[in-house]
Structure 1
Amino acid sequence: MKKRVATAGLVAFLAVDIGLVALALRSGHTASDELPAASTTRAASLTTSPPTTSSPPTTTTKAPTTAATATGARAVPVSRLVSALDAATAWRATTGTCDRGGAALELTSDGGQTWTKLRSPTRAIARVQPLDATRVFTVGAGADCTLKQYASSDAGRTWLAPTVISGGWARRLDNPTQVLAPKESAATPCGDGVVLDLSRTSASEAQSLCADGSVVLTRDGGSTWTDSGDAPGGIALSNLLVDNRLTTYAVRLVGACKGVQLVEVVKGRAADVIACVPVPDARRGDVGLSVTERAGWIVAGNQTWLARGDLTSWKRA
């Protein structure tokens, strides 16, 4: 049963991504509680995308992409999500669909050894965002596919009434070429192409993984998108900040790896291979990625793989 009573602080973190950061600050947490900065363990080997400082961004116009990617594989958006808080706590979800439902939500606090099944607050889920050990919000939709925001302050046991999203990020569930962005309600980062995955770092900055393996970046809330690198064969995306610089990871299906290959995406050069994770029977759409300051997480169906440090060594939970 959804709770109707909430403090002013909880109402605030429902409103916008910026409001979430402000709430964290008021409650004694820094903005890094919402989106942790990356670990400096690999700092010497990381090459990151520098901030845009000289000229305004230009809109990227991508060639139309049909149901097949450049490699001939079918374009399948991520439907198995993982969103980690640290090396112990993470949420995973099945997106479901607006018409058929099927959304599922789970939480682990022991590094993926066990998962607690929770009631999804809606038929379909587009995003899960933990704020701390107990506070989390989801973006999802009912049968009409209108995205709304749902919040919990007790680790998903109960949910507040949904609110209209203002200033948030999520893939649209009714159109795989569109994303909801703070400045655009139906942004098309990949042009006519399918958006496989979306990962944000702030209320103004996010990246999308396109069906052709390209990664595009916005720093103005989704109004314009620019080239940010390539990950041919990419199926899931995660990004975060390292010393205030954007660092981008993707997992992909390639012949050189029997499983999924983790790469760092860097503009202007081939993706930097980090690890081959021996995930059996990995399928497009069924693999999710989340990288935090303390750990990297990969979910594939009901499997969970975890890495610490420089992300080169992965173990199945």
Structure 2
Amino acid sequence: MSRLVSSLDAATAWRATTGTCERGGATIERTSDGGQTWTKVRSPARAVARIQPLDATRAFAVGAGTDCTLRQYSSGDAGQTWRTPTAVTGGWARQLAEPTQVLAPKAGTATPCGTAVVLDLSRTSATEAQALCAGGSVVVTEDGGATWTDSGDAPGAVAISNLLVDNQLRTYAARIVGACKGVQLVVVAKGKAADVVACVPVPDAQRGDVGLSVNDRAGWIVAGDQTWLSLGDLTAWKRA
């Protein structure tokens, strides 16, 4: 995946283009008006594996330089400046140089999908996260990445996002399939076929260029420079 989005609520989100360790090219932007406008901020690293807002002004990124060693960068002024990077401890991120691996709190380096590429990673805590594998399978860990088990299947999925609803894990996937001219949003659950929530009419959606973020107030889809936002039950979406 080359496009990332991470939202705080219905107004604030950050999005990024990952870039690569060798060629650089990472970009980071933030919005505080529901995606109507985006402000570009300086990327603290050549490549970015994760971006995460914490509140209106605080955020952190996990990124790497030419050696592709992941480090954590934090900002307290909405990305105007970044503090000196630190080692990533207790954090989650996809490894930029090894597409089958993720950085996990308890396992260091984990391979949740075996030999398959990890397309996306979404976490709910220091111990719980899910990975989307090439082919559409979703796996979950509840022990910080030490072990992974089946969590459902969403063929055609390109991004996932999860959250806790009444202390139960709910998993959404964005997928590109023939049944939807755009991006299809589905709920993924173990032992069940993916439940279609909406067909979002994103024009020219491309694999690797779609990011999904769902929080308890809104859902966000970023596709290239497009931003789509949904409130409520995520069945109705509007382009910002």
Identity across aligned pairs (percent)?
Answer: 77
Name the larger-Rg structure. 1
Query: When the two structures are aligned, how many residues end up with a matched partner?
Result: 240
- Counterpart Cα distance in 1 of 2:50 and 2:187: 22
- 1:146 matched to 2:89: no
Aligned match of 2:146: 223
> Quick check: which one's strand share is greater?
2
For 2:175, which of 246, 252, 256 is the aligned residue? Answer: 252
Shift in Å at residue 185 of structure 1? 2.0
Structure 2 residue corresponding to 1:90, chosen from 13, 17, 23: 13
- Write the distance in 2 (CA, Å) between the matches of 1:184 and 1:177: 14
1:47 aligned partner? none
Q: Aligned equivalents of 1:195 and 1:184: distance in 2?
A: 16
Distance in 1, Cα, partners of 2:107 & 2:162: 21
**Distance in 2, Cα, partners of 1:177 & 1:107:** 29
Give the match's secondary structure for 1:122.
coil
Structure 1 segments unaligned to the other structure (5+ residues):
1-77
Which structure dedicates a bigger proportion of its chain to helix?
A: 1
Structure 1: which amino acid aligns with 2:140? L
Aligned match of 1:282 in 168, 181, 205?
205
1:287 to partner: Cα distance: 0.2
What is the distance in 2 between the residues matched to 1:169 and 1:178? 11
Secondary structure of the 2:217 match is: coil
Match status 1:271 vs 2:194: yes
- After superposition, what is the alpha-carbon deviation per residue over 1:149-204, rounded to whole angstroms, capped at 9, x for unaligned? 00001111011000011111000000000000001222000000000000000000
Computed over aligned residues only, the root mean square deviation of the Cα atoms, in angstroms, reads 0.5
Distance 1:249 1:313 in 2: 15
Question: Separation in 2 of the partners of 1:111 and 1:276?
Answer: 20
Task: Output the amino acid matched with 1:206.
Answer: A
Aligned pair partner of 2:127 in 204, 213, 217: 204
Residue equivalent to 2:60: 137
Give the SS at the match of 1:186.
strand
Question: 1:273 offset after TM fit, Å?
Answer: 0.2
Are 1:239 and 2:162 an aligned pair? yes
Structure 2 counterpart SS, 1:264:
strand
**Separation in 2, partners of 1:212, 1:250:** 13
**TM-score when normalising by structure 1:** 0.75
> What letter corresponds to residue 66 of structure 2 in structure 1?
A
Mapped pair 1:156 → 2:71 = no
Distance in 2, matches of 1:109 and 1:309, equals: 19
* CA distances 1:93-142 after superposition (whole Å, capped 9, x unpaired): 00000000000000000000000010000100000111110110000000
Alignment partner of 2:38 out of 93, 109, 115:
115
TM-score, normalised with respect to structure 2? 0.99
